[in-house]
Structure 1
Amino acid sequence: MIKAINNNRYFKFFQPKLFYINQDIDNDDPVRLLSAILEEMDFSNLLQIFPNKTKVHPVNMFAVIIYAYSQGKYSTRDIEFLCKDSQRTKFLLNSANAPNHSTISHFLSKANNIIYELFCQFVEKLLKLSEITTETIYIDGTKIEAYANKYSFVWKKSTLKYKERLEENILQLIDEFNKYFNKELDSIFDILSFLEKLKIYKVYGRGKRKSKEQLFLEKAQSYVEKLNKYINYLEILGERNSFSKTDKEATFMRMKEDYMRNGQLKPGYNLQIGVISEYIVSYDIFHNPSDTKTLIPFLEKIKSQNIEVKNVVADAGYESLSNYEYLKINNYVSYIKPIYYEKAKTRKYKKDLNRVENLEYNEEENRLFRKDGLELEFLYYGKDKKTIYFRNPETEKKVRYNYEFRKLSKESKDNIESEFGKQLRMNRSIQVEGAFAVIKEDMKLRKLKVRGKNSVKREIALFCIAYNFNRYLAKLVRKKQGVILHPLKIA
């Protein structure tokens, strides 16, 4: 029988409130507001990780860390100093002794897999307090540099090339070995096992001649070591094209901060966030450098949080046929800006009759026309049966046309050009791009300080909780509770 844990024994006093009421703290102080939110949350999973008595209660420790992040203190040593120096952190600690940096680090490591659950609860409480509906979500992504060495790269193409070359050398060694020993072994591992059993006398240094057996053994050991290394690299890579040796889950990608303008690749993660009424309600980390393939798994994650969304607002980086079809099948309204949207406003673009976007398609007769009446010659269907290839008789160029994609793209374009769509587009720039501006510029999250995907997710969760708490305070000050959309500015 499992013994129930009485978590009340951690406190000095039995009290209805979790945090000690200090008379020096004002009633509208941020720490009181934070404690009020946390007292409504369920910390049972967190407490199960710390079943034994600790100097600082786990909930108090979590509260201190969130407050520290909201005040721009992110390192464990800075948090330790804040705990010793600030009256507010003493309030959150319930008058317990200030934890040292190693205790804080130990707490974060043990609570690694629980922080995301606490983030979801925190978001739920904020949305409830702010009386906000989750009808519209703004999605965007950015690349965050990993805590890894810049030149610790491993490339998939290079690994495959080196592995192929090694396999050729192994076949050559097997052939030479079988001729010398009069054997019929066909595996480098069998050869190595055979040679190790011979107990070969080894010699090294100048003036010493190695025996043929020793040369075979050293070559076999070297080849097996390299082969295992390449196999391990390919397992780590999976579907990725690269990884870093110092953070194996980081992928090399181009960052926006390219001061030399030479397209230098750096190890990093693609951070995706979803924002509703200025709150980050969901986030995820991806290995894909582009945003296109992240939309569907990200929306699935939002769905798993029981956040019901109707309107999906995103920039041109998310436009693809698979994304449009997913949104339509799952009854989302697409407000994705088409890739060509800004170019389409120019006179040159509008006058270009050969632009795919300017062609007119007859679905019933499967015929494609230019606006001046010129018909393009049908060639064949693509493998997916959705893409059709035509030939322009005037330019002799092949034209690739996907009617389904063009139709869904036009629907999305019509949506963003409506009055409501214009307001959503403006709010996307303010809310989700504004969130990244605060996180990267004000909160200084340009380069991570932890390694590994799980640790990165935990770190991002703490930043997002702190960001949301600061937005909640700002909304209280500005009396913007319940405000979902910023109004359009009329010139």
Structure 2
Amino acid sequence: MIKPINNNKYFKFFQPKLFYINKDIDNDDPIRLLSAILEEMDFSNLLQVFPNKTKVHPVNMFAVIIYAYSQGKYSTRDIEFLCRDSQRTQYLLNSLNVPSYSTISRFLSKATDIIYELFCQFVEKLFKLSDIPTETIYIDGTKIEAYANKYSFVWKKSTLKYKEKLEENILELIDEFNKYFNKEKELDNIFDIFSYLKKLKIQKIYGRGKRKSKEQLFLEKAQSYVEKFNKYTNYLEILGERNSFSKTDKEATFMRMKEDYMRNGQLKPGYNLQIGVISEYIASYEIFHNPADTKTLIPFLEKIKSQNIEIKNVVADAGYESFPNYEYLEKNNYVSYIKPIYYEKSKTRKYQKNLNRVENLEYNEKENRLFRKDGLELEFQYYGEDGKTIYFKNPETEKIIKYNNEFRRLSKKSKDNIESDLGKQLRMNRSIQVEGAFAVLKEDMKLRKLKVRGKNSTKREIGLFCIAYNFNKYLAKLSRKKQGVVLHPLKTA
């Protein structure tokens, strides 16, 4: 039975009942395993969020929600029904009052900032129970559709264009205003003009056949321009470095989803979910606004580092290949098993015979000269801003080629790693473990479209899904007696 810290002297955790429900729960029942794991966790931060007496103790509530998610019950009404209907949830509740859907919703709202910490603790307990080494992590990302209207888009380029046009109109209005009113001190700000016109208490005339006064026209234009200026300024603040957002979920960014049933490349509001898997358990997760995986690797690894998970091997697909990522991995003593973008094409005869491919060129570092395999020398043009990228010109095709020798070295090093015996095994396990985790989350657990709005609520929701996924994975490993299995072996003919 879960024994949470009781921070309320008026709260009796064990309530006398007409029957003791524990008798109906087997000793090896999954609910007892969940209870045993949660008993070892520290809930002090969760209890600080709920300092006063609550209908259901916060630890009991958290346990019930995790069990409900593991059983495919995600809505608050479904969880309430499960609490009324299931003996297992009665066991977790300690036969206390059944929480209503609104009580569950309030709990989730208040516990939003604590879920990730509880997820980290849960993962740590599973690793200790299964005695799992954490040297290899498999990283991948997927896009989750946000709970937002797909036609509520705001584009950064359009906003900048509209704002620029508005500023031109404002300058014209300022010029017309100063000429008409002929003030001693000219006003050069639309906000000052709007304030001045409001103070005049202009009589407004509306209706067919009635002519508006010049002052009223100035006032209406000034009001419209001020409202639009404030709107566009607010849009740009919300956008930040993003190129788009949704009006119904301002933290969602428009992206191309894999589920494109119309095959027209429609953009939908969503989040880029990154997960790191260790021995089939989701060890970490994070939500990003950037639709591409390339720029997510470094901040994601920094977050994993903050969890005190010691990693040696980083395994990822071609979407993560970039010079900054390779540099970061080498500087932080990680072994890169990132598949190069050109890897599959490089196996073809056509690719290998193409003399103009950057990967097939030979670079003389001492003399800073670049050659094709047939001996043709490319003409040096200039260095890039970073000082490491060099631009050469092909005298035959007249094309400019961008060459970064350090990037080529790191890419070849990663290629050699994935072609080693261990690399082949890790590549196969990446396909099984991290892509398998996404398959379960999206297909079995129906995590295709979110039911909450905002980045913080999304992180909370993803955290609950990941805890439930890890618990189900732990049960599956126990049933197969494979708690310690870390790598799936390569199939041999």
TM-score per shorter chain, which class? over 0.9
Q: Is the 8 A contact 1:144 1:447 kept in 2?
A: yes
In structure 1, the partner of 2:11 is 10
Q: Give matches, 1:230-245, under 5 Å.
A: 230-245=232-247
How many angstroms apart in 2 are the aligned matches of 1:236 and 1:450? Answer: 19
SS at match of 1:426: helix
In structure 2, the partner of 1:213 is 215
How many angstroms apart in 2 are the aligned matches of 1:110 and 1:385? Answer: 50
In structure 2, the partner of 1:459 is 461
Structure 1 residues 446 and 484, CA gap change in structure 2 (3 angstroms): same
Report the Cα offset of residue 326 of structure 1: 0.4
Deviations 1:320-365 (A, max 9, x none): 0000000011111100000000111111111111111111111111
Structure 1 residues 23 and 58, CA gap change in structure 2 (3 angstroms): same
1:197 corresponds to which of 186, 196, 199: 199
Report the Cα offset of residue 191 of structure 1: 0.4
2:372 corresponds to which of 363, 370, 373: 370
Deviations 1:11-58 (A, max 9, x none): 34399xxxx870110111110000000000000111111111112111
1:60 partner amino acid: N
1:176 partner amino acid: E
Deviations 1:172-192 (A, max 9, x none): 000000001112100001101
2:225 corresponds to which of 223, 232, 254: 223
Query: Does 2:110 correspond to 1:110?
Result: yes
In structure 2, the partner of 1:69 is 69
Query: Does 2:465 correspond to 1:476?
Result: no
SS at match of 2:22: coil
How many angstroms apart in 2 are the aligned matches of 1:374 and 1:85? Answer: 78
How many angstroms apart in 2 are the aligned matches of 1:21 and 1:289? Answer: 49
How many angstroms apart in 2 are the aligned matches of 1:274 and 1:264? Answer: 28
CA RMSD of aligned residues (A): 1.4
Deviations 1:147-186 (A, max 9, x none): 0001000000000000000001100000000001112100
Q: Is the 8 A contact 1:5 1:51 kept in 2?
A: no
How many angstroms apart in 1 are the aligned matches of 2:375 and 2:209? Answer: 87
In structure 1, the partner of 2:390 is 388
Report the Cα offset of residue 234 of structure 1: 0.2
1:382 partner amino acid: G
In structure 1, the partner of 2:90 is 90
How many angstroms apart in 2 are the aligned matches of 1:85 and 1:153? Answer: 42
Q: Is the 8 A contact 2:286 2:300 kept in 1?
A: yes
Q: Give matches, 1:303-452, under 5 Å.
A: 303-452=305-454
Query: Does 2:273 correspond to 1:286?
Result: no
Q: Is the 8 A contact 1:136 1:276 kept in 2?
A: yes
In structure 2, the partner of 1:137 is 137
Uncovered stretches (5+) of structure 2, i.e. residues with no partner: none
In structure 2, the partner of 1:296 is 298
2:182 partner amino acid: N
Q: Is the 8 A contact 1:8 1:14 kept in 2?
A: no
Q: TM-score, normalised by structure 2?
A: 0.96
1:273 corresponds to which of 257, 272, 275: 275
Q: Give matches, 1:119-158, under 5 Å.
A: 119-158=119-158
Report the Cα offset of residue 394 of structure 1: 2.4
2:167 partner amino acid: E
How many angstroms apart in 2 are the aligned matches of 1:327 and 1:8? Answer: 51
Report the Cα offset of residue 311 of structure 1: 0.5
SS at match of 2:116: helix
Q: Is the 8 A contact 1:274 1:283 kept in 2?
A: yes
How many angstroms apart in 2 are the aligned matches of 1:127 and 1:367? Answer: 51
2:162 partner amino acid: Y
Q: How many residue pairs were aligned?
A: 484
How many angstroms apart in 2 are the aligned matches of 1:344 and 1:93? Answer: 59
How many angstroms apart in 2 are the aligned matches of 1:394 and 1:200? Answer: 73
- Aligned-pair identity in percent equals 86
Uncovered stretches (5+) of structure 1, i.e. residues with no partner: none
In structure 2, the partner of 1:261 is 263
In structure 1, the partner of 2:171 is 171
In structure 2, the partner of 1:56 is 56
Larger mean CA deviation between 59-68 and 199-208 belongs to 199-208
1:420 partner amino acid: L
2:66 partner amino acid: I
How many angstroms apart in 1 are the aligned matches of 2:7 and 2:361? Answer: 71
